[in-house]
Amino acid sequence: MFSTTMSATGISNLGVVFIVGALFLAIVLATILIGASGKFSTLMNGVDKKTYEKLTYDSIPKLREIVSLYSNRLVGIQARKFLEKWDTLIEPSLKRLSRSKKRETLRTVFRSDIHPILEVYKKLITQRRQ
């Protein structure tokens, strides 16, 4: 039946191969474009660049709380060191950056500095409850 339909429309086997190849190429190009724009990570992780910006700003008061609660423990010391760096270097420099560079910087800061401190804090809270 398929060969009858192809012969009736005038499409040869080579034409079908080209059509399937073009569809495959279009899917690959669309995937590359989505991945390059950063939306693919949003689809996979559910977190976009804007979310990291909000997470960073929302985490600063939590870090100040960690410093006050655990000033003599390693997590409190690390949080204090980060907050000193935040107050003197990072936050003032954010005012001069473009929106995309600012989001990139905040994402990097959250992933490399803030998130590990918050994870240790969560572990401490979990250990206390047990």
Reported in sequence order, the residue ranges of the chain that DSSP labels E, i.e. its strands, are none
Q: How many residues appear in the chain?
A: 130
CA gap 97, 83 in Å, rounded: 20
CA gap 58, 49 in Å, rounded: 15
Q: Could you tell me if 37 and 51 lie in one domain?
A: no
Q: Could you tell me if 58 and 108 lie in one domain?
A: yes
Q: Could you tell me if 66 and 39 lie in one domain?
A: no
Q: Could you tell me if 40 and 81 lie in one domain?
A: no
- Other beta carbons less than 10 A from residue 63's beta carbon: 22
21-63 tens-digit pLDDT = 888 888 888 877 766 665 555 555 555 667 888 899 999 999 9
Domain span at residue 92 reads: 47-129
Burial 70-83 (b: 16+ CB within 10 A, else e): beeeebbebbbebb
73-113 tens-digit pLDDT = 899 999 999 999 999 999 999 889 888 899 889 989 999 99
Q: Could you tell me if 60 and 120 lie in one domain?
A: yes
Q: What percent of the chain has pLDDT over 70?
A: 77
| Model pTM above 0.75 | no
